[in-house]
Amino acid sequence: MPLSRKPNRPQRPRRRSKLRIVLLSITSLIALIIAGLAIFVVVAAAGTPKWDPALLNNSKQTSYVYDKDGVEFALLHGYENRQTVEYSEIPDLVKKTFIAVEDKRFEQHFGVDPIRIIGSAITDIKTRSAREGASTITIQLARNAFISNPTEKKFTRKIQEAILAIQLEREYTKEEILTFYLNRIFLGESSFGIQAAAKTYFGAELEDLAPAEVALLAGLPQAPSQYNPYYHPDSAKTRRNIVLGVMRDAGIITPEEYAKEKEAPFTYVESMKKSRGGAQKTEVASASYKFPYFVDYVIEELETTYNLAPDQIFSGGLHIYTTVNPKIQAAAEAAFADPANFPQGINDTKVEGAMTVIDPTTGEIQAMVGGRGYTPRGLNRAWQSKRQPGSTIKPLVVYGPAIEKGGYFPGTVLDDMPVTYNSGGSSWSPTNFDTATKGWKGLITMRHAVEQSVNIYAVKLLDLIGVDYGWSFGKNNLGLPLESGDRVLSLALGTTHASTLDMAAAYGVYANNGVSINDHAVVKVLDSKGNTVITPKITKNRVMKETTAYIVNSMLRSVVTNGTGTNAQFGNWAVAGKTGTSSLPDNLKYKTGNTDAWFAGYTPNYTGVVWMGYDSNPDLDKQGTPGPYYLRSVYGGGFPAKIWKKVMTAAHKDLPVKSKFDQPSGIVSGSFDKKSGLLPSSLTPTEFISTEIAAQGDLPTRISDVWIEKEVDADHPNMLPSPNSQNTITKIFLNLPDRDPAWTWPSNEIPYKPPTEVAPDPISDTIKDPDIIEPVDDDDLPTDSSLPTPVLGNVEYKSKTSKVEIPITNLSGNPKNYSAIVYIQRPGQLQGMIPVKVSNGALSFTLAIDDKAPTPGSYFFRAAFQNPQKTEVGPSSNLVKLILTD
């Protein structure tokens, strides 16, 4: 019998069975998810705050502020800048704009907008983010009125907000909800509601606002601090113009109005910033609590960093734990309260000041004083006043970046001589603060330039490493508030603007061995029930090599031990610091003084920065003439450094002394030539050989090439030998062919300046200069060959006093126990001589005779050392000349 060819039928039911199982599984899973969601929603709904319409009008509880040890020191309770308006008083332009921006289907939905929720979900899925919001105006009102911590981002809160929003829609009309919302919404700068915000940002009534002004207000609810024109004008303008575009697309304004309004300036904001440093803040009911400047900054941090509204801060019953160190804060306030710590003011106007102290290892702000007299919620100069930091910027944008870049070390040598930079058709020739009085410094090391705050060196070094590199290091590595316009060489001299908080945070990176930690004043915030509202996220980033930080610490340590900051040293503590002053504006450039004085310093424990100056603009007074409000003879190493020392002495009391900064691995040391920054050569004089540290790989490897040997006439050691010189010697000189011959060399380099004149020929030359009517021979005084031969520098003449000043040195160093005989030949007269005392390495005497000014013509000078105990004089110096004209 043939085999059957029919398929095996029992297999089909098996396939159906598998499919049924899969479908049942999926259905069950969906059912479980729905059930789980339903349970979650029920649980979340059960925790919805009690419906209480009275909350729409606020309830108030005192908030408590604690120091770093958890000790309560302040109570916050106040009244907000809140001004309510009726629905009929709100212009249609305002109503339509807020609805178009915040909730365009406001009139159609029932408190929750399903279309917006679905659209937001789709966008989040596409972008793989959770940035799209679905909050309606009603939901925002519910959140602000009924949710205890509206900044908490949890799905549970979203469900509760939706339930409350639906309840609001059942109880109130759309007009009432919009009125509640526009009167309650927080718009930054302590302003609640659109009427208060109109006054805050424009100084105007609501009914008088232009479209651009309404657009700014409507753009603020998304991020009041981020779009605040007082602090972020560029972001505020961008956001405002986006809203203007929405208004145009919705037909609220015309395209012509859009084109006009998008260029509107923030005129009122700028005037408020100039007149009072910013907007009017929420006033506290009492300012009698301790540490008011610090508390003001805590309030600012809560508002701007954590987006807490002022009513939460002042009336939410919060427990605010801060970083303030009572010992340091009290010392700082005492220092600023003592008039002896400040110079005398002008016209009853006080010299102001500010100070910020930070723990560099934690980023915690230990103390903050914003002025000499506190005004509740007034100008806090410690963080609000951005002033030119002068030379305190140099380690942040020049020296630190150079060491980090590599190839430089504290012994790197540059020439402190005149330099001119040309850019954009204009030229700039920087000078040092003491160039006019002390002259140029010549070849100096980086450490010396830091110690003595030498401007030319800093500018030349920034030019070498690149302005962009120094600017980026300061901004991105150290967090300085640099702008694109600061990318110029003058940045090396502190032409940007910064606060004491900015500078303390930046210097703290060096104190913390190259690790940056975000500065903060808030440790945590609990609500009235003990629930955590805020826990700051503290970030740490290594922004430079440990070796860079250590080398900068070493150089700034020298500023305090040997340089401009010696007034800051206390005890045996390792103190590093930098002084700074900022120059007067152009209209006061012929006056002596400065606008700002700074001291930035730190120990391994604390970093502190002090600023001193006037609040008023020193450029012009009301009549347009130069104003008087600038500092006279006040420098960073004076009053600011002394205040710093007083505060830091108190801060370090009873702490174990740290007399040095910890040295990391990778630091090496070696000998170098102080006039080239290279390895000493066989010609390098011993006085110019020193030892310096460097990061491994940055010590020089080349031999110094700045020294040369030349033969000179033995009888005229500062002159080249003539063809018939009877006696010559070999001397060492500096070979600096790029130096302009007209430049005056510094006193320590003059002995090594190569001669250019030829000595008198003993056979053919009887008189070298035709103006000399008699040979300049030695006098009849007995000579002492054991005395050194002096070397005279360039003659300086002061016509008002008829005084001559001539630097005098010798190759073996200036003898302190010698006087000098000066030989003078006046025009048309025989040579005479006078005894002159050597003072500070120079000869100073008058050319006047019987109080009569010297006659015009050529004057010749020589000198010889004399032992005051004997009559003998030493060998004569080189001949120098002075020509007086009518």
**Catalytic residues, which ones?**
102, 391
CA pair distance 601, 565, nearest whole angstrom: 9
The Cα 551–Cα 569 span in angstroms is: 19
395: tokens are 């380690």
What lies within 8 Å, CB to CB, of 786 at 6+ separation is: 874
| Amino acid, single-letter form, for residue 140 | Q
- Nearest Cα neighbor of 121 from 130, 109, 113, 112 is 130
Phi, psi of 178 (to 5 degrees): -65, -35
C-alpha distances in Å from residue 228, one per residue of 269, 304, 799? 10, 10, 60
Task: Characterize 774-793 residue by residue with b for buried, 16 or more Cβ atoms within 10 angstroms of its Cβ, and e for exposed.
Answer: eebeebeeeebeebbbbbbb
Q: How many CA atoms lie within 13 A of 455 on its CB side?
A: 25
Alpha-carbon span 387 to 237, nearest angstrom: 24
Q: Pull the structure tokens for residue 826.
A: 């006046």
Q: Is 314 exposed, middle or buried (0-12, 13-18, 19+ CB in 10 A)?
A: buried
CA pair distance 865, 804, nearest whole angstrom: 18
| 802: region left, alpha or beta (phi > 0 left; psi from -120 to 50 alpha) | left
> Looking up tokens 């917006």, which residue turns up?
116
Q: Cα(611)–Cα(228) distance, rounded to whole angstroms?
A: 26
CA distance readout (Å), 324 to 364, 437, 503, 616, 806: 8, 45, 18, 30, 57
Q: Which residues, 6+ apart, have CB-to-CB distance to 249 below 8 Å?
A: none
Q: CA-CA-CA-CA torsion for 142, 145, 148, 153, nearest 10 degrees?
A: 40
- Give the DSSP letter string of 56-84: GG---B-EEEE-TTS-EEEEE-EE-EE--
Asked whether 493 and 454 are in contact (CB, 8 A), the reply is no
DSSP-assigned letter for residue 208: G
Q: Which residues contact 615 (CB under 8 A, 6 or more apart)?
A: 352, 379, 381, 385
Helix axes 267-276, 193-202, angle to 10 degrees: 70
Residue with tokens 């939706």: 162
Token pair for residue 494? 């502190």
Amino acid identity of 424? Answer: G
Dihedral sign (CA 830, 835, 839, 844) = negative
Helix (H, G, I), strand (E, B) or coil at 130: coil
SS3 605: coil
The span from the CA of 681 to the CA of 689, in Å, is 10
Sign for the pseudo-dihedral over CA of 550, 556, 562, 565: negative
Q: Tell me the residue type at 96.
A: K
- What string of DSSP letters covers 525-553? EE-TTS-EEE-----EEE-S-HHHHHHHH
Burial class (CB in 10 A: 0-12, 13-18, 19+), 771: middle
